[in-house]
């Protein structure tokens, strides 16, 4: 299999419900599915493959053995849970037995990985851990000039829709792997935009839950106040199923919803914003309760406060994590900086670690700037922005990101047009979700859905409504694998 469009690729794009149906009917086995996905990864993803997508960081060595075990259990009538026999990939900053968990850095190569609680939940539900995914190194907190999707251990992730364009970040490989049909489900992490962005530009569904709903233990950290692991998939129902497992929660009965449209949040990319408006018009035409609402827009002061908070928490949280991780190697942020300076040919080949240097200088949470910046940030995000925006409604809608930009390792990532939707949700730690809404210039764009803290199931219910409207207009289809080109 060397052609991403080959008929044999059909198996790679099954939904979780379709996979489950075939497994139950006996027309598909987990071994056959995992075998097909491993063959597809070899043909599409590896550096010497026909496409060299570089979405996968490492393969789980026991994936086929676990698949055989799940098949045997199913034959015996022992189904573990909602993901029994379903392959899953996880971002490479999540620790799991048998996978590297390096966050894309050579500084962590060879360090033993523990079993993150979120991974344990996946395994308990019967999932098959297939691989870990490449990412923006250190989850994109290393430099203001970073190129999204690049890591020293994995290289640069491509976007399956156009191979010279970014897969977003920092959960780049998770979004690209789903779009490429390398797995039906993925785990990403978000601090500000790192699930929503790759989901939007790769044309998949992604949910960043409320901070703390999915445990972040044994996940390489940036910020305890903003980091949140979450599920990605190609359909809302797939993401909902995985969220139920990751959060150990059940969906409540669905009810009618009231939507607000953030009139002051746009990407400023005309075609993207026009498509968003068309979806909102379809929502109204279908009889849903939709109001317009002007919502506060983050300015320079809010952005600077957020950066102050993230760098101070990185100073403390990453050093604490590294000191506790088993094995020999770097034990603090300062040691990471020294490692990268000593291994500059691989680590600093395309951009530096200026944000690490700034974080080291903050003094952490004990520094003089942190406490006031965090208080101002929270007051703006919750009191000024989100609570008024969600007053009397269930969810808030806005465009997510415009079409993906071209990756450029020479001068930096140049992130493309985006609305400010991820920022207040990130600062507050509240949920946000991306749903694909169509193609602009042949590239996916998404719609962001924000909800109140711990109200993910309402966000998911609203996402189903949006997905149904998009399906009625015509689904995105599969990636086009456009070759690198000018323009």
Active site residues: 91, 170, 194
Q: Which tokens belong to 482?
A: 């456009």
**What residues does 438 pair with on adjacent strands?**
445
| Main-chain phi, psi angles of 157, to 5 degrees | -75, 135
**Contacts of 347-353 spanning 24+ positions with Cβ under 8 A:** 347/105, 347/106, 347/107, 347/152, 349/152, 350/147, 350/150, 350/409, 350/410, 351/142, 351/143, 351/145, 351/146, 351/147, 351/412, 352/142, 352/143, 352/145, 353/142, 353/143
Half-sphere exposure of 458 (CA within 13 A, CB side): 20
Nearest CA to 55 out of 41, 66, 43 is that of 41
- The span from the CA of 450 to the CA of 458, in Å, is 10
Q: Rounded to an integer, what distance in angstroms lies between the CA atom of residue 105 and that of residue 2?
A: 30
| Structure letter (DSSP) for residue 33 | H
CB 100 within 8 A of CB 142: no
Residue 278 has φ and ψ, to the nearest 5°, of -65, -40
Q: What does the angle CA 420 – CA 180 – CA 487 come to, to the nearest 5 degrees?
A: 60
Instruction: Cis check for the bond before 219: say yes or no (omega within 30 of 0).
Output: no
SS3 136: coil
Question: Helix (H, G, I), strand (E, B), or coil: what is residue 193?
Answer: coil
Q: Residue 5 corresponds to which tokens in the numbers above? A: 């469009």
């Amino acid at each position: 299999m060397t052609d991403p469009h080959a008929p044999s690729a059909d198996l790679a794009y099954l939904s979780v419900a379709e996979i489950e149906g075939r497994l139950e009917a006996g027309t598909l086995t987990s071994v056959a599915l995992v075998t097909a996905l491993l063959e597809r990864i070899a043909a599409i993803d590896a550096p010497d493959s026909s496409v060299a997508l570089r979405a996968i960081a490492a393969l789980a060595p026991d994936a086929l053995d676990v698949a055989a075990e799940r098949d045997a259990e199913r034959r015996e009538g022992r189904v573990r849970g909602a993901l029994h026999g379903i392959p899953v990939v996880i971002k490479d900053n999540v620790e799991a037995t048998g996978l590297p968990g390096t966050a894309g850095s050579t500084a962590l190569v060879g360090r033993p990985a523990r079993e993150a609680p979120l991974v344990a939940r996946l395994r308990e539900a019967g999932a098959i851990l297939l691989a870990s995914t490449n990412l923006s190194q250190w989850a994109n907190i290393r430099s203001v000039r970073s190129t999204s999707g690049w890591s020293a251990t994995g290289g640069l992730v491509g976007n399956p829709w156009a191979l010279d364009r970014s897969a977003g970040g920092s959960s780049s490989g998770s979004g690209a792997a789903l779009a490429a049909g390398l797995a039906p489900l993925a785990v990403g992490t978000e601090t500000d935009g790192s699930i929503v962005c790759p989901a939007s530009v790769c044309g998949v569904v992604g949910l960043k839950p409320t901070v703390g709903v999915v445990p972040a233990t044994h996940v390489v950290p940036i910020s305890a106040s903003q980091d949140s692991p979450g599920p990605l998939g190609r359909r809302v129902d797939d993401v909902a199923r995985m969220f139920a497992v990751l959060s150990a929660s059940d969906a409540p009965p669905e009810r009618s919803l009231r939507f607000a449209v953030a009139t002051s949040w746009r990407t400023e990319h005309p075609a993207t914003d026009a498509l968003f408006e068309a979806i909102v018009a379809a929502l109204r035409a279908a009889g849903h309760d939709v109001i317009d609402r002007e919502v506060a827009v983050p300015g320079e002061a809010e952005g600077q406060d957020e950066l102050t908070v993230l760098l101070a928490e990185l100073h403390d949280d990453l050093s604490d994590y590294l000191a506790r991780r088993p094995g020999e190697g770097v034990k603090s942020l300062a040691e990471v900086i020294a490692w990268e300076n000593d291994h500059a040919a691989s680590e600093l080949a395309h951009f530096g670690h200026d944000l690490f240097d700034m974080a080291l200088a903050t003094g952490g949470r004990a520094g003089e700037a942190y406490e006031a910046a965090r208080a101002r940030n929270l007051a703006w995000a919750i009191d000024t922005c989100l609570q008024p925006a969600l007053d009397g409604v269930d969810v808030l809608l806005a465009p997510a990101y415009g079409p993906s930009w071209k990756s450029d390792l020479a001068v930096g990532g140049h992130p493309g047009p985006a609305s400010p939707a991820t920022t207040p949700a990130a600062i507050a730690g509240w949920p946000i979700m991306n749903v694909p809404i169509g193609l602009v210039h042949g590239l996916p764009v998404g719609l962001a859905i924000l909800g109140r803290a711990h109200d993910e199931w309402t966000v998911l219910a609203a996402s189903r409504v949006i997905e149904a409207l998009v399906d009625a207009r015509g689904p995105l289809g599969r990636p086009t694998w456009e070759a690198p080109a000018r323009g």
